Amino acid sequence: MKQLLLATTNPGKLAELKKGLRPLMKAGFELVTLADYGISEDVEETGKTFSENSRLKAGYYGRLSGLPTVADDGGFVIEALNGEPGVKSKRWLGREATDDELIDYTLQRVRSLPKAERRAYLETHISFYDPRSDRYMSESASISGHIADKPTTKRIKGFPYRALLVVDKFGKYYDELTEAEHEIINHRLKALKRLVGKIKEHYAKRS
């Protein structure tokens, strides 16, 4: 059985990666985590784009472990703020900032903007790296909406910006979507579905 390393320590991301990559288990893969291998090293995210950072992380942990690796990078993009926080979504106020602090700061930055100018979207880029062939493959997806006047009371820890985003397709907070609605618009799952196809094709050519 081939092992595929999921290079994240974020519980929410890890759960979605496992869900989106589940079809690979039927193809003979075992999904393993950094914790499974006792890997605690952190990689500095020096990329200027989500794509660069996802490749950087996949490559780093793939070479470190010797395993094919999947890693993602993404964040919140506010159009009226020239794309902020973008690649700095987790570090907008420093690495130690809490979800509440990020939510409050975001609302402070857009307070003077009318609803029409509060356009924003969540974006993710997911990369696969195979250290044996030194090959990368990537996919991306996004969810568009606008920033509400206040956060929802239904928050998911580790995803502060979701608590502010009203998804245009449903006119509801991201965190208040039903499971069925979430399945329809989830950007990480969409990107993973396409990436799974590429991974299967990659290994089919090698066999």
Q: Do residues 41 and 54 make contact, with C-beta atoms less than 8 angstroms apart?
A: no
3 state SS of 176: helix
Q: Catalogue the long-range contacts made by 176-183 (C-beta closer than 8 Å, 24 or more residues apart).
A: 176/152
Query: How far, in Å, CA of 84 to CA of 76, rounded?
Result: 7
Taking Cα atoms as reference points, which of 73, 50, 77, 74 lies closest to residue 146? 77
Of 72, 73, 130, 175, the catalytic one is 73
Is 73 part of the annotated catalytic residue set? yes
Taking Cα atoms as reference points, which of 190, 175, 160 lies closest to residue 99? 160
Tokens matching residue 90: 């987790």
The residues that are catalytic are 73
